[in-house]
Amino acid sequence: MNLLKSLFHSRDKPKNYLISGFSFLFGSTTSGKNVNEKTAMQTTAVYACVRILSETIASLPLHIYRHSENGKEKAIQHRLYRLLHDEPNSEMTSFVFRETLMSHLLLWGNAYAQIIRDGRGNVVSLYPLLPDRMTVDRNSKGELFYEYHKESGSVVLRKEEVLHIPGLGFDGLIGYSPIAMAKNAIGMAIATEEYGARFFANGASPGGVLEHPGVVKDPKRIRDSWNDVYQGSANAHRIAVLEEGMKFQPISIPPEQAQFIATRKYQLNEIARIFRIPPHMIGDLEKSSFSNIEQQSLEYVKYTLDPWVVRWEMSLQRALLTEPEKQEYFIKLNVDGLLRGDYQSRMNGYAVGRQNGWLSANDIRELEDLNRIPENLGGDLYLINGNMTKLQDAGLFSKNFETEGELSEKEVLELGEK
């Protein structure tokens, strides 16, 4: 074990290889467009995917729980409860804090927050840190530390002072940017969007050539004169007057021949694939219907959201709970509300649980965010249908009737109660 530990600590410092080690993976793409976190967010599909995931994580109920004899209970008195549920610091709500960190995680592959502790080591506040200003390194003892670069200099933070949520990465310590990994797909989306914008800025007409039968002494003057009158969407459909036998010949490929619409739609699905977002959630309803949208939404929770939720929960527990507390407490993001079906499906499910004795009236009311029924009115009772009986008692009534003959009304009622 000691040998393995020393080998682990002797490794090179962790890197986001797509930023520091191989900077060529950012920047220009095969489409000729520069792609980074900021330019990618100007693409509507990327913005929509990042917004959906960030707002979903931010809106989930976040609680700290304590293991109890009956299973679990909310640890409302714990110092972290209000910090995580309401306000991680004096400047932002829990929603804004989680939304910010999740957007960092989706764009840069890493999310960082500074942990402020009091003299006893208790966490008192959390502040987001920008991933592009953070460097992770090891000291001479092999221990991780974080160096945050500010305009006025840099600050070194110990690992106990940083909440770090890494995305998928090469070494398990630093995540790499999804934007860098898929820069060509995003670059093509930017290029097609810019092509469409320029096409309409040019009056929705392709470029072309002005042909003159003779020799033109000043072609620049003719070109500028033509552009001043006919170029731009404001000048679309104006009547052109050609002098001295000139002709206009379009030379660009019309958008319908270049499959412009199909390309834009395909790139939308490409970007949705990067973030594993169902296309209908970012506005593509081509393959969606009333019968399958609910199923796609449930798959979004199961296959897209759940891995992010587990990543968040484990990172929060590792960074914020002490070693003794980890045996007693745990942090959970509740996705039950997203998994609920429509009203009729929920009522049918509650009815099955109520009739089979594993749900009480108050259990159901809590799931529906309703006030509890007082205990003296039977709100906590677990009931089953009267026609349910044990297997070994099946046929007992008819057997007794055959052997003992005709029974009195009182005996029938007593036997029925049994």
Residue 19 is given by DSSP the state: I
- Give dist(CA 157, CA 143) in Å, integer: 12
Q: Over the range 96-112, which residues count as b (16 or more CB within 10 Å of their CB) and which as e?
A: ebbbbbbbbbbbbbbbb
Q: Which residue has the higher pLDDT, 250 or 167?
A: 167
What integer is the mean pLDDT of 115-144? 90
- Give dist(CA 224, CA 218) in Å, integer: 10
Per-residue pLDDT at 50 = 94
In this predicted structure, the answer to whether residue 400 has a pLDDT above a threshold of 60 is: no
pTM (predicted TM-score): 0.71
Highest mean pLDDT among 87-96, 203-212, 379-388: 87-96
Where along the chain do its domains lie?
A: 1-204+253-339, 207-251, 341-417
- Give dist(CA 124, CA 132) in Å, integer: 25
Distance of CA 394 to the CA centre of its chain: 53
Phi and psi at residue 179, to the nearest 5°: -65, -40
Q: Where are the beta strands (DSSP E) in 193-237?
A: 208-211
Cβ–Cβ under 8 Å, residues 194 and 263: no
Helix spans in 237-322 (H): 260-275, 293-299, 306-320
- Give dist(CA 106, CA 74) in Å, integer: 30
- Give dist(CA 180, CA 39) in Å, integer: 12
Kindly report, residue by residue over 268-289, the tens digit of the pLDDT.
888 888 899 988 887 777 766 6
Return the minimum-mean-pLDDT range out of 54-63, 138-147, 157-166, 368-377. Answer: 368-377
- Give dist(CA 60, CA 104) in Å, integer: 18
Per-residue pLDDT at 25 = 47
Residue 49: band (very low, low, confident or very high) from pLDDT cuts 50, 70, 90: very high
Determine the 3-state secondary structure of 365 from DSSP. helix
Cβ–Cβ under 8 Å, residues 170 and 176: yes
Kindly report, residue by residue over 202-251, the tens digit of the pLDDT.
554 555 666 666 666 666 766 677 666 555 545 555 556 566 666 766 65
Per-residue pLDDT at 381 = 85
Given 3-state DSSP classes, what are the helix, strand and coil percentages for the chain, each rounded to the nearest 5?
Answer: 50, 15, 35
Residue 23: band (very low, low, confident or very high) from pLDDT cuts 50, 70, 90: very low
Q: Give the relative orientation of helices 260-275 and 44-59 as an angle to the nearest 10 degrees.
A: 30
Residue 10: band (very low, low, confident or very high) from pLDDT cuts 50, 70, 90: very low
In this predicted structure, the answer to whether residue 148 has a pLDDT above a threshold of 80 is: yes
Dihedral sign, CA of 160, 166, 170, 172? Answer: positive
